[in-house]
Amino acid sequence: MNLTRRNFLAWAGLSAVGAVACEGFGIREGEFSLQSPVSLPEDLVRGKDNWYATLCRTCPSSEGIVVRVMEGRAKKIQGNPLYPTNQGKQSARCEGGLQAMYHPERLAGPMRRSGGRGSGQFEPLDWPAALDIFKVQLQQNGDNMLMVTEPLRGHMAKLVDRFAKAMGGKHLAFDGMDNIAYRAAVKNVFQQDSLPDFDIANTNFLLSFGADFLSTWVSPTRWAVGYGEFRQGEGRERGTFYQVDSRFSTTAASADQWVPIKPGWEGYLALSLAYVIISEGLQAPGVDVSALTDGRGVGALDAFRPEVAGARIGLPDHLRGETPTEFIQNLAREFAGHRPSLAIGGGSAGAHTNGLFNLEAIYALNYLVGSVGAEGGVRFNPAPPIDDLPASADVASLSDWFSAAEDLNGGRTKLVVVHQADPAHGLPGALNFRDALNRDDLFIVSLSPFIDDTSALADLILPDRVALEDWGSDIPEPGPGYQTLGVQQPVVNPLSDLDPRSSADVLLAMAGELGKQSDLPWNRFEDMLRETSKQLFDLNRGSIKAGSADEFWTTMLQQGGWWDENAKAAVPLDTPAGLFNKIAAKAAEPRYPGLAPGRDTFHLVPFSHISLLDGQNAHLPWLQAVPDPITTVAWQTWLEINDGDAERMGLREGDVVMVSSTASSSIRVPVYPHPGVPPKVVSIPLGQGRRDGPETATDRPAAESSNVMDILEPSQVEGTGALAWANTTVTIIPTGTSIKVSKFEGIVRAIEVGNTEAERIIITEIPGEH
Amino acid sequence: MVIDLDRCTGCQACVVACQAENNLPVNTKDLFLQRRAYEWIRIERYWEGEFPDVKARFIPIMCQHCENAPCEPVCPVFATYHNDEGLNVQIYNRCVGTRYCANNCPYQVRFFNYWEPVWPERLRNQLNPDVTVRSRGIMEKCTFCVQRIRRAEVTIERRERATLDHAAMKKRNFLPACVSACPTNALNFGDQLDATGPVKEIFDDVNDHPMHEAHDRKTRGYRLLEEIGTKPNLLYLKKVDRFPLNKSEAHVS
Domains and CATH numbers, chain A: 5-44 (no CATH), 110-169+389-464 (3.40.50.740), 197-379+577-582 (3.40.228.10), 601-738 (2.40.40.20)
Interface-testing mutation among B19, B55, B248, with chain A (most A C-beta atoms within 10 A): B55
Q: Categorize the per-residue pLDDT at A181 as very low, low, confident or very high, splitting at 50, 70 and 90.
A: very high
Task: Say if the Cβ atoms of B6 and A231 lie within 8 Å.
Answer: yes
Q: How far is A621 from chain B (nearest CA, A)?
A: 7
CA distance A43 to B150: 12
| Chain centre to alpha carbon of residue A219 | 8
pLDDT range class, residue A132, cuts 50, 70, 90: very high
pLDDT of residue A750: 63
Q: Residues A725, A398: contact at Cβ < 8 Å?
A: no
Q: Which residues of A touch B157 (CB under 8 A)?
A: none
The interface residues of chain A toward chain B in range 88-117, judged by CB-CB distance below 8 A, are: 88-92, 94-96, 98-99, 101-104, 106
Count CB pairs under 8 A between chains A and B: 316
Q: Which domains does chain B have, with CATH numbers?
A: 2-237 (3.30.70.20)
pLDDT for the residue B191: 92
A715 HSE (CA, 13 A, CB side): 24
pLDDT value of position A15? 54
Per-residue confidence (pLDDT) for residue A593, from 0 to 100: 81
User: In Å, how far are A73, A197, B179 from A76, measured between CA atoms?
Assistant: 10, 29, 14
What confidence tens digit (pLDDT) does each residue in A425-445 have? 999 999 999 999 999 999 999
Residues 6+ apart with CB under 8 A from B190: B166, B169, B197, B198, B199, B200
In the structure, what pLDDT confidence band is assigned to residue A19 with cuts at 50, 70 and 90? very low
Q: Is the pLDDT of residue A401 over 90?
A: yes
In which band, very low, low, confident or very high, does the pLDDT at B253 lie, cut at 50, 70 and 90? very low
CB atoms near residue A286 (< 10 Å): 7
For B182, the closest chain A residue by CA position comes to A89
Summarize the confidence of residues B155-172 as an average pLDDT. Answer: 90
Taking an 8 Å cut-off on Cβ atoms, the answer to whether A34 and B93 are in contact is yes
Tell me: the pLDDT tens digits for B170-203? 988 899 999 999 999 999 999 999 999 999 999 9
3-state helix, strand, coil in chain A (%, to 5): 35, 20, 50
Count of beta carbons in the 10 Å neighbourhood of residue B248: 6
pLDDT at A48: 83
Question: Of A92-101, A752-761, B143-152, B233-242, which gets the smallest average pLDDT?
Answer: A752-761
Q: What is the pLDDT of residue A770?
A: 54
A460: distance to nearest CA of chain B, Å?
A: 25
User: Which ipTM did the prediction report?
Assistant: 0.94
**Confidence band for A757, pLDDT divided at 50, 70 and 90:** low
A29: DSSP letter: T
Q: Which of A91, A641, A744 to mutate to test the interface with B (most CBs of B within 10 A)?
A: A744
Q: How far apart are CA A169 and CA A141, in angstroms?
A: 9
- Give the pLDDT score at A762: 84
- The percentage of residues in chain A with a pLDDT greater than 70, rounded to a whole number, is 92
pLDDT digits 0-9 by tens, A472-506: 999 999 999 999 999 999 999 999 999 999 999 99
Q: What does the pLDDT look like over A700-713, one tens digit per residue?
A: 998 999 999 999 99
Q: At what angle do helices A525-539 and A549-559 cross, to 10 degrees?
A: 110
Q: What is the DSSP string of A360-399?
A: HHHHHHHHHTT-BTSTTSEE--PPPSSTTS--S-----HH
Say if the Cβ atoms of B54 and A747 lie within 8 Å: no
Residues 668-697, chain A, touching B (beta carbon < 8 A): 674-679
With a CB cutoff of 8 Å and minimum separation 6, the contacts of A498 are A106, A108, A109
Please report residues of A whose CB lies closer than 8 A to that of B122: 102-104, 106, 495
Our CA-based measurement puts residue A92 at a distance from the nearest CA of chain B, in whole angstroms, of 4
For the residues B163-167, what does the mean pLDDT come to?
91
CA–CA dist B31, A742 (Å, integer): 9
Q: Is A613 left (phi over 0), alpha (psi -120 to 50) or beta?
A: left
Residue A741 in this model has a pLDDT that exceeds 50: yes
A35 touches chain B (CB under 8 A): yes
Find the helix or strand (DSSP H, E) in which B75 lies.
none
Q: Give me the pLDDT at residue A766, please.
A: 85
pLDDT given for residue B84 in this prediction = 86
- pLDDT higher than 80, residue A446: yes
Q: Do the Cβ atoms of B240 and A231 come within 8 Å? A: yes
CB < 8 Å to B243, chain A: 256-257, 320
pLDDT in tens, A284-334: 999 999 999 999 999 999 999 999 999 999 999 988 889 999 999 999 999
| A648 CB within 8 Å of a chain B CB | no
Q: State residue A34's pLDDT score.
A: 52
Contact B130 A254 (CB under 8 A): no
Interface test with A, best of B59, B184, B225, B237 (most A CBs within 10 A): B184
CA of A213, closest CA in chain B: separation in Å?
11
What is the C-alpha to C-alpha distance for residues B95 and B79, in angstroms, rounded to an integer? Answer: 5
B51–A677 C-beta distance less than 8 A: yes
Average pLDDT over residues A639-648: 95
Interval A95-111 mean pLDDT: 94
Residue of B nearest to A26 (CA): B121
Q: Is A74 on the interface with B (CB under 8 A)?
A: yes
Q: Above 90 in pLDDT, residue B227?
A: no
Contact A484, A85 (CB under 8 A): yes
List strands edge to edge, sheet with B187-188. B187-188, B2-4, B235-237, B221-222
Q: B92: nearest CA in chain A?
A: A35
Q: Quick one: which H or E segment has residue B40?
A: none
Question: What average pLDDT does chain A have?
Answer: 91
Between chains, do A320 and B7 touch, taking CB under 8 Å as contact? Answer: no
Q: Which residue of B has its CA nearest to A636?
A: B29
A65: contact with B, CB 8 A cutoff: no
Which of B91, B114, B202, B243 is the best mutation test for A, with the most CBs of A within 10 A?
B243
CA distance A322 to A319: 5
- Asked whether the beta carbons of residue B43 and residue A221 sit closer than 8 angstroms, the reply is no
Inter-chain touch B12–A627, beta carbons under 8 Å: yes
With contact defined as beta carbons under 8 Å apart, do B60 and B186 qualify? yes
Q: Can you give the pTM of this predicted structure?
A: 0.92
